[in-house]
Amino acid sequence: MKLITTRQDLTDCVTGWHRNGDTIGVVPTMGSLHTGHLTLVKALDGKVTRRIVTVFVNPIQFNNADDFRLYPRGLEADAALLEKTGDVDVLYAPDASQMYAPGFATRVTVSGLDSMLCGADRPGHFDGVATVVTKLLLQTRADIAAFGEKDFQQLCLIRRMIQDLDLPVSVLPVPTVREADGLALSSRNKRLSPEQRQQAVALPTALKACITAMKQGGTVEAALGVCADALKQAGFVVHYLDLRSGSTLQPTQASDPTARLFVAASLGDIRLIDNMPLA
């Protein structure tokens, strides 16, 4: 595996690959890698001949300076983890100067999808996501990009952006990877104290109970209310909890075959998200 930190070196590398007829898969990340990220890399097996993992903690998608400052980082550990898999050809880890040159003034906005759910209480977040992902797709010249379903709103937004901008890349969605107790893997989990980590399991537990209640004929409103109460009793501050279409992210009913339950909730200053399909 080769570590690349500049756009020019990346361009030279991928140009050579394309000249040789290689196909490229990319896994965009913000680092602090875990098994979920490795699953994204593995999902590219048999689909491409070259694989790139990007690590860049993107400053323009944070609307909270403390959240950006505290976001876990560890490039050496990330590199060692990827090297051990033997599945990655390039780790691309640019710094902010490589991504946002002086005078950078462009934002990519996916209207509508950027203002609901996580977008409602994180203004500008998805503009930052769309902008950096566009740049990474262009820089890596990837044929396939793998994204996890844990960040389902982000996945939907990126699909829309790629379609609207005619970017020549396919999106590969990968199911959420979970701990043994059901908590969705996330780099933010590393910030949880031992006590908070015990509390955190209430998140997937409450979602599963909510889905079961809906399937047994309970109303969506009643099931969501019980779920929200369970999360509050576990110590969470609930930012949103809603049933949405998995294709449009608009509010829907339990009879919708694409319906998914979406939640964002915080323990202290650590914000966790999750989602589960009803089907």
Residues annotated as binding site? 30-37, 61, 148-151, 154, 177, 185-188
Of 18, 37, 125, 239, catalytic? 37
Chain Cα centroid distance, residue 86: 23
Write the CB contacts of 142 (distance below 8 Å, at least 6 apart in sequence): 24, 25, 26, 52, 169
**The dihedral formed by the CA atoms of 279, 119, 58 and 188, expressed in degrees to the nearest 10:** -60
Q: Which residues are annotated as a binding site for beta-alanine?
A: 61
239 carries an active-site annotation: no
Strand pairing of 50-55 and 90-92?
parallel
Report how far apart, in Å, the C-alpha atoms of 164 and of each of 15, 24, 75, 107, 140 are.
25, 21, 33, 15, 19
φ, ψ at 8 (rounded to 5°): -65, -45
* DSSP 8-state secondary structure symbol assigned to residue 217: T
Q: Which residues are annotated as a binding site for ATP?
A: 30-37, 148-151, 177, 185-188
Active site residues: 37
